Structure 1
Amino acid sequence: MARPKSAPAVELPEVNFSDYGGVRCLHLGTEWIQGSMILDAPYDIELEYVQRMMAWLLFTDPARLTRFHAMQLGLGAGTLTKFCRKKLRVTTTAIELNPQVLHACRGWFKLPADDSKLRVVIADAAEEIRNPMWQGVVDALQVDLYDHEAAAPVLDSAEFYADCRRLLSDDACMTVNLFGRSSSYERSVEKMVEAFGIDAVWAFKPTREGNTVVLAQRTPSRPKREVLMERAEFIQSRWDLPATKWLRAFKPLQTKLSA
């Protein structure tokens, strides 16, 4: 979660959790689920849209992962941060506004302590991503910034997405969770296109819950389908993500617009 730089300080929502059917869910003072964890598999990804936030792997040579830096804007239940650090074993940074969320992730959601390859920064994402130390060094950026009402992204301007683009290394990708009405989705995508260019933007079909994951490349490319399928099969066998299924619901935005 984050707030625009110009916004006044606000009272942060209370953080709590609920357990049901072997799954623990994070809440910010409402019934809306802000993240989840399978109690018997705390480093796996349970929610479909969160799995899709890993689609940047389709554009990545697995041999390069040892040198990767992944960044999450919005910690949630720590799912993506844990997966990148524990499963992919890449250098991982998360930026989170609410220190209570970090406390909850460490106490209830098995988020490891900071170490040489993991760092959680308590800061406003809109401000922190302008820090020169992050410019051009992020190989995978994952953006999931919703407030306690989960009504619309907290940061969702063309200027914000341009700042995100400046974080990325040449072959990097950004994935963004968009949730809500179709008109809100269309406005968000227009802003990403303004920042990245239409050739760089890919999108999934919405999940049944209404989450649409959009991917933007720092440098646009169109890998052949056989290359994407080979990568998807590797991702599925290595990390148990449904990557071959992704390819049936994931297309370049230009293709979707002309369909």
Structure 2
Amino acid sequence: MSQRRREPHPDFDDPIISESEGVRYLHFNSEWIQGAMRVSRPEKLEFEYTQQMMAWLLFLAPPIDRDIGILGLGAGSLTRFCQHHFDSNIVTVEWNPQVTSLCESAFALRQTDRSQVVHQDAHDWVQEPYNDNRYGVLMVDLYDYTAQGPVCSSAEFYRGCRQVCRDIGVVTINLFGHHGSFRKNIRHIGSAFDDRMILFPETIDGNRIVIAFTGPPLRVARQALQQRAHQVQSLYRLPATGWLKTLLRENGRTGDVLEF
């Protein structure tokens, strides 16, 4: 089902593109990169932080009975990856229709019956009763042209994210570790998800990915998680074994049975 395009809005940032060494970049008239695509391999996740946004795969198989939600289109990296690898329905929420148009013309984005872009404010979208508990996975990557603090960071917003994946699910959230909003976001995420979260260390670009859990407490054998990491690495060409080691070390998870 196609989405009806809205007219250009005076508050929308104008997206522009650049290209270097086979990689195409999305900007908003600033030095900050909003997303990237390797032209020869559009499905590849070019940045470390976008790869880490997929770390929910360590804990949850791609959902079939519920959808995958992505808040923030950027250059379409997460959407293209999910389209390429999964059979799940995918809903991407993007505030700026100009970004969608540019992604369709320059970043190999395609909308299908099972993958649609919705033009809506992400804060409003997570509050809609229609989205209550429809999603098994939610990936949150919401930045404007300054690319510093997330544009949605309230306690109400994160409670909405939990409600979207209420019964059982995993939410990954892109924060900037060195930005002044980081502690506020961590406090609000912790409150919304009953402190059921783990964090990656900060990447070289300053991103810090949070993984939050919904549903019943998760207790899993370390060996089972290690086996899952090897499967994810083999299936999706993602550094999942390294993720697991880093996450367990960074968050002080020890023992043969781990709780999340």
Taking structure 1 as the reference length, the TM-score comes to 0.89
Q: Is it true that 1:57 corresponds to 2:57 in the alignment?
A: yes
Match of 2:128 among 128, 131, 135: 131
Q: How does 1:151-190 map to 2 (within 5 A)?
A: 151-181=148-178, 183-190=180-187
* Other structure's SS at 1:136 match: coil
Q: Deviations over 1:53-112 (max 9, x none)?
A: 00111111x4x6433411011100111111112212311000000001000110111011
Q: How does 1:92-103 map to 2 (within 5 A)?
A: 92-103=90-101
Contact kept, 8 Å, 1:177 with 1:212, in 2: the verdict is: yes
**In structure 2, what residue type is equivalent to 1:206?**
E
Contact kept, 8 Å, 2:90 with 2:115, in 1: the verdict is: yes
Which one has the bigger helix percentage?
A: 1
1:67 corresponds to = 65
Contact kept, 8 Å, 2:149 with 2:182, in 1: the verdict is: no
1:194 corresponds to = 191
Q: How does 1:106-125 map to 2 (within 5 A)?
A: 106-113=104-111, 115-125=112-122
2:35 corresponds to = 35
Taking structure 2 as the reference length, the TM-score comes to 0.88
Match of 1:217 among 213, 217, 221: 213
Give the distance between the partners of 2:66 and 2:75, measured in 1 at CA: 22
Offset of residue 253 of structure 1: 8.0
* Other structure's SS at 1:154 match: coil
Give the distance between the partners of 2:191 and 2:226, measured in 1 at CA: 29
Offset of residue 147 of structure 1: 0.8
Give the distance between the partners of 2:46 and 2:75, measured in 1 at CA: 11
* Other structure's SS at 2:144 match: coil
Deviates more, 1:188-197 or 1:81-90: 81-90
Contact kept, 8 Å, 1:203 with 1:251, in 2: the verdict is: no
| Identity over aligned pairs, percent | 38
Contact kept, 8 Å, 2:94 with 2:121, in 1: the verdict is: yes
Change (3 A) 1:129 1:74: same
Change (3 A) 1:30 1:123: same
Deviates more, 1:31-40 or 1:223-232: 223-232
Contact kept, 8 Å, 1:201 with 1:253, in 2: the verdict is: no
Give the distance between the partners of 2:40 and 2:173, measured in 1 at CA: 27
- RMSD, aligned CA: 1.8
Change (3 A) 1:12 1:252: farther
Structure 2 unmatched runs, 5+: 1-8, 254-260
Q: Structure 1 stretches (4+) deviating beyond 4 angstroms?
A: none
* Other structure's SS at 2:33 match: coil
* Other structure's SS at 1:217 match: strand
Give the distance between the partners of 2:28 and 2:158, measured in 1 at CA: 25
**In structure 2, what residue type is equivalent to 1:26?**
L
Give the distance between the partners of 2:10 and 2:252, measured in 1 at CA: 41
**In structure 2, what residue type is equivalent to 1:227?**
A
* Other structure's SS at 2:124 match: helix
Contact kept, 8 Å, 1:202 with 1:252, in 2: the verdict is: no
Q: Number of paired residues? A: 244
Give the distance between the partners of 2:86 and 2:44, measured in 1 at CA: 11
Contact kept, 8 Å, 2:95 with 2:122, in 1: the verdict is: yes
Give the distance between the partners of 1:223 and 1:212, measured in 2 at CA: 24
Give the distance between the partners of 2:85 and 2:103, measured in 1 at CA: 17
Give the distance between the partners of 1:226 and 1:248, measured in 2 at CA: 12
Change (3 A) 1:254 1:208: closer
Contact kept, 8 Å, 1:71 with 1:93, in 2: the verdict is: yes
Offset of residue 181 of structure 1: 1.7
Q: How does 1:227-238 map to 2 (within 5 A)?
A: 227-238=224-235
Match of 1:205 among 181, 201, 206: 201
Contact kept, 8 Å, 2:126 with 2:157, in 1: the verdict is: no
